[in-house]
């Protein structure tokens, strides 16, 4: 059974906050897709605290918990030549350490 350190801190971001996804460098076993790195978006939901997948991926005994957010992005902000209408979007679940305030 992997032990984890319960992260007792509060989430840094709240719903509605504008954020930017960090550009990198990617960690080992990174769950922040390349196509979202460096892109601005907004927090739509705080999903809770989850065990750090980068630590779980290497059988680590002590695994920290990280706040996870569902983040909303406009397609036109992600792809310079997006072919669909302006209102189209992407949402993804991003870990706190990958987000900075916009």
Partner 1 sequence: MSHPDHPDHDHDHEENAQEPAEDLRNLEQAIRELLDEKGVVTSAQISQQIDLQDSRTPSLGAKVVAKAWVNAEFKRELLSKPLETINHFFNLSISTPLELVVLENTPDVHNIVVCTLCSCYPRMLLGIPPAWYKSTDYRSRVVIEPRVVLAEFGTQISDKTEVRVLDSTADIRYIVLPMRPLGTDGLTEQQLEGLVTRDAMIGTALPYFTE
Partner 2 sequence: MQRKVNDVGGLAGLTINREEHEQTFFEKRVDAMLMLLISPKVEAFSVDSLRRAIEESTTDDYSKRGYYDKWLYAIRQLLVEKGILSDEEIEQRVSLIKHRKR
Q: Using CB under 8 A as the criterion, which residues of the chain lie in contact with partner 2 when the complex forms? A: 1-2, 24-26, 28-30, 33-36, 53-54, 56-59, 78-79
Name the helix (H) or strand (E) containing 51: strand 40-51
- Please compute, for residue 32, the number of CA atoms within 13 A of its CA located in the half-sphere on the CB side: 25
Report the Cα 82 to chain-centroid distance in Å: 22
List the single partner that 10 binds among partner 1, partner 2, none, CB under 5 to 8 Å by kind: none
Nearer to partner 1, 16 or 85 (CB): 85
Is residue 66 within 8 A of residue 50, CB to CB? The reply is: yes
Nearer to partner 1, 33 or 38 (CB): 33
- The least distance separating partner 1 from the CB of residue 85, rounded to whole angstroms, comes to 5
- The least distance separating partner 1 from the CB of residue 62, rounded to whole angstroms, comes to 18
Quote the CA–CA distance of 51 and 62 in Å, as a whole number: 10
Q: Using CB under 8 A as the criterion, which residues of the chain lie in contact with partner 1 when the complex forms? A: 31-33, 35, 47-48, 50, 53, 68, 70, 78-79, 82-85, 87-95
Nearer to partner 2, 36 or 43 (CB): 36
Q: Is 84 exposed, middle or buried (0-12, 13-18, 19+ CB in 10 A)?
A: exposed
């Amino acid at each position: 059974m992997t032990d984890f350190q319960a992260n007792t801190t509060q989430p840094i971001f709240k719903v509605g906050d504008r954020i930017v996804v960090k550009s990198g460098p990617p960690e080992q076993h990174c769950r922040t897709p390349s196509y979202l790195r460096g892109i601005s978006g907004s927090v739509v939901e705080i999903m809770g605290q989850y065990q750090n997948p980068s630590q779980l991926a290497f059988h680590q005994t002590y695994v920290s918990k990280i706040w996870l957010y569902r983040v909303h992005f406009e397609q036109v902000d992600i792809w310079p030549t997006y072919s669909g209408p302006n209102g189209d979007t992407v949402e993804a679940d991003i870990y706190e350490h990958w987000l900075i305030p916009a």
